[in-house]
Amino acid sequence: MELGLYTLSDLSSDPSTRVRINAERRIKETIAAAQLADEVGLDVFGIGEHHRLDFAVPSPAVILGAVANATKRIRLTSAVTVLSAADPVRVFEDFSLLDLISHGRAELIVGRGVFTEPFPLFGFDLDDYHALFEEKLDLLQKLNQARRITWSGQFRSSLRDAEISPRPHQAQLPLWVGVGGSPESAVRAGELGLPMALAVLGGPITRIAGTVTLYREAGRRAGHPQSKLKVSLNSHAYVGEDPQNSRNIFRPYYQHYMSEFLPSGRKQIQISESEFALMTAPTNALMVGSAQEVVDKIIAEYEIVHHDRFLAQIDIGGLPYSEVAKVIERFGDRVAPIIRKETMAAISTV
């Protein structure tokens, strides 16, 4: 299994000091986190896209270009690119450049986006939310396959024997579809034969089985080989020194993050110690606890869905970078080696 990190680079205030980080410092810390992830041997680092003053990164490709020069081997992906509100030609060009800069380490996770700000900002109608994504994903796939393209659609000017430059270092950019959990999105990703990055932000671990099954069954019905139907599970996480201390440290930052950034509005959420203990129980998907607890949960998920990748979002709610760095080191040193060993052993017995 591949293991890695993703960040949305939120500009939260620290709930204990009420000091809010600025975008310049947040970007520097994001690059430092990626460099450390590379040093401890993690496989993937992703950066999300937001077009709001309380997030630092509207263009993942720009920051990933800086990360490429600070790292050696880790794969670099958006998490996600809001394709519905973007120009697929520009997206492809930007990530092809990233692929050249990084010598073949670029990927894309594309999605519709949870927040609605990009749509009016770039002149798109929210009523076209689904149609925009379908058309633009179709174009992005075609751009990935050919040096020249003729194409026409509803939301973008036509292309007639257009040169698509530059071409990436890889034969094609790896392209994943980000899915929030809706059955329709999972089926659509399976029908297209594209890898699925599934957000699993809480609730029972067993809940993910239905979504992954729908995805793989749709892919098989469409004639895609199992090797193409990859699954990544992406979750909030904190790896601490021991079970109780982990929960004590992370709970106020998690609560603060959920209060500030829930799409339904800035509701003040209060999570008691007992409620958080339940949310982080062994049967639930919020990845908070000791290294062994996190290992056990990832393996429990693997036994259910046999996923190919796990990405953790650690740096949320104003968690100081000094603490983020400790978690990255624990994740790379104490979690990743065991997960790789156990999943490799499981594969070898099949």
Question: Which residue has 């017995």 as its token pair?
Answer: 349
What is the fold of 2-348?
A: TIM Barrel (3.20.20)
pLDDT reading at 342 higher than 70: yes
Q: Give first-to-last CA distance, the chain, whole Å.
A: 15
For residue 115, the model assigns a pLDDT of 86
For residue 84, the model assigns a pLDDT of 96
Tokens of 184: 């329709």
Averaged pLDDT, 28-34: 98
pLDDT reading at 229 higher than 90: yes
Averaged pLDDT, 195-215: 97
CB count in 10 Å sphere of residue 54: 14
pLDDT in tens, 104-158: 999 999 999 888 899 999 999 999 999 999 999 999 999 999 999 999 999 999 9
Question: Which residue has 């990626």 as its token pair?
Answer: 34
For residue 113, the model assigns a pLDDT of 82
pLDDT reading at 266 higher than 60: no
pLDDT in tens, 45-85: 999 999 999 999 999 999 999 999 999 999 999 999 999 99
pLDDT band at 350 (very low <50, low <70, confident <90, very high): low
- In angstroms, the CA 175 to CA 182 distance is 19
- For the chain, the structural domain boundaries read 2-348
pLDDT reading at 38 higher than 90: yes
Averaged pLDDT, 87-95: 98
